[in-house]
Amino acid sequence: MQKWSHPGGKLRELGPESLTDAELLSILISSGIKGKPAEKIAEEVLGKFNSFKGMANQPLEKFLEIKGLSDVKIIRIAAAFEIANRIAKQVLEENDKEKV
């Protein structure tokens, strides 16, 4: 079995659906800190908020409580959530138009 040094390689070879939530989040986090790789930070974030849904709409300050998350990393995560929100909104709008 292939062992990737970063989840990005796994995503490239097997597709995004093959990654765990922590692996996906670690791609956004990008790099860790000494003794704490990005995947470990991602696992801690998901543990704190229980899921992506639990992370959504949290104040950015709550993420700063996690060692290894800088402003840049938190902003990257917030941007990804906003993209997801906009996609969901567009899908809902399209579904509403189809019902009419």
pLDDT digits (tens, 9 = 90+) for 14-64: 999 999 999 999 999 999 999 999 999 999 999 999 999 999 889 989 999
For the segment 55-92, what is each residue's pLDDT rounded down to a tens digit? 988 998 999 999 999 999 999 999 999 999 999 999 99
pLDDT computed for residue 24 by the predictor: 95
pLDDT computed for residue 99 by the predictor: 75
What beta strand segments (E) does 10-73 contain? none
Query: What confidence category does residue 94 fall into, taking pLDDT thresholds of 50, 70 and 90?
Result: confident
Of the candidates 1, 39, 44, the residue with the CA atom closest to the CA atom of residue 20: 39
Helix (H) or strand (E) holding 39: helix 38-49
